[in-house]
Amino acid sequence: MKKLLSIIYISLVSIVSLYAQQVPLYSQYFNNDYIINPAIAGTVKDYTPLRLSVHKQWVGIEESPSTQVLSIHHQLSNEVMGVGGLIFHDSFGPTRQFGINLTYSYLLNINDDIKLSMGLSAVMMQYVIKLSQDDFYTYEPILNRERTSITVPDAHLGFYAYDKDWWAGLSIMHLLQSRLKITTTWMDNENKMVRHYFLMGGYKFSFPTAYLLEIEPSALVKFTEVTPMQIDFNVRLIYNKDFWTGISVRPGDSFVFLIGFTFKEYHFGMSYDFTFSDLSNHTIGSQELVFGWNIGDSRIGTQRYF
């Protein structure tokens, strides 16, 4: 298994560079939606969300993808501009990505109910390959011993529209498609980040006879210019605006169970992915935890936008 994974790692680096795992996978994007859409920074929530997301993919497979993200964003005093920032670390076998995003966003009031925000993130990312693993030395000739890491700039762009019942967004990651020159072969010109597109949307339904309950179906469509489309279908049941549970389905890949709650200013979310692809023979699934502090949230027991 380890040798098989080593071959996969090298394929990601030396053929068309990381097309399959350039952007980490998130199961609870609606609990930390800023990490996939910069337009949300400071323009959707009246408080300042501080979030720590920890995702472990394919538990049971050695050195499988693991992602940690610490983010915060804030609405400025003029109430039409927002700023945000995040630090991320993503690992997969001998590869590591470290980075920081700084975001500016602007909010437009379409009418009394509908708002539209736009956001742009400046990104600085370091990509690192460790050559200390035994299986990796077989493929070492394609790598430059003096350059096993590279730091590149990039940018993310997002748009987000919402009112009290529905929301929809479009975001584009890796706008600059930065090149990763970490090999000594002709493939240097092919190693680059590719643009990732995210379409997201959802609607929150209330029950006239059970005013404490709400149901929120949503979907996230992910695709690039070189890989097939993937869709997450989600539905959450929310009780008293602070407790929720739900499921998510990625056709052909996994079934996800979700649960979470908000207590005063504090937030917690957990998800478990049950894999039903061919990887199910080697993994017990994937896990994700989200910890949060809604700084300055005075709307305890009132309407929240998740």
Residue-wise DSSP of 168-208: EEEEEE-TT--B---BSSGGGGT-B---EEEEEEEE-EEET
pLDDT at residue 300 in the model: 54
Determine the Cα angle at 100 with ends 96 and 105, to 5°. Answer: 140
Is residue 7's pLDDT more than 90? no
Structural domains in the chain (count): 1
Indicate the residue type of 266: Y
The answer to which of 39-48, 126-135, 248-257 has the lowest mean pLDDT is 126-135
Do the domain assignments include residue 138? yes
**What is the band of 41 on the pLDDT scale with cuts at 50, 70, 90?**
very high
| Number of other CB atoms surrounding residue 15 within 10 Å | 12
70 domain-assigned: yes
Predicted confidence band of residue 114 (pLDDT cuts 50, 70, 90) = very high
**Beta partners for residue 203, in sequence order:** 166
Cα–Cα distance, 96 to 19 (Å, whole number): 15
Compute the distance between CA of residue 170 and CA of residue 295 in angstroms, rounded to an integer: 26
Half-sphere exposure of 137 (CA within 13 A, CB side): 3
**Residue 231 placed within a domain:** yes
Which pLDDT band holds residue 306 (cuts at 50, 70, 90)? very low
pLDDT (mean) for 244-251: 94
Please give the pLDDT value at position 171: 97
Residue 295 included in any domain: no
Asked if residue 3 has pLDDT above 50, the reply is: no
Question: What is the average pLDDT across 70-80?
Answer: 94
Establish if 152 belongs to a structural domain: yes
Query: What average pLDDT does range 140-160 have in this prediction?
Result: 76
Give 6's pLDDT tier (boundaries 50, 70, 90): very low
Give the burial class of 9: count Cβ atoms within 10 A of its Cβ; 0-12 exposed, 13-18 middle, 19 or more buried.
Answer: buried
The verdict on residue 293 lying in a domain is: no
In this structure, what is the dihedral angle of CA atoms 58, 59, 60, 62, given to the nearest 10 degrees? 70
What does the pLDDT look like over 131-148, one tens digit per residue? 654 545 544 555 555 447
Per-residue pLDDT, 241: 86
pLDDT above 60 (res 126): yes
Q: Which DSSP state fits 47?
A: S
Average pLDDT, the chain: 83
- 159-163, 235-239, 273-277, 293-297: range with lowest mean pLDDT: 273-277
Domain enclosing residue 154, as ranges: 2-235
Flag the least confident range among 117-121, 140-144, 217-221: 140-144
Task: Indicate if the pLDDT at residue 120 is higher than 50.
Answer: yes
Amino acid making up residue 16: V
Rounding to the nearest 10 degrees, give the CA dihedral for residues 231, 102, 289, 306: -70
Q: Does any domain span residue 74?
A: yes
Is 260 part of any domain?
Answer: no
- The answer to whether residue 188 scores a pLDDT higher than 60 is no
pLDDT at 161 over 90: yes
**pLDDT (average), residues 11-35:** 65
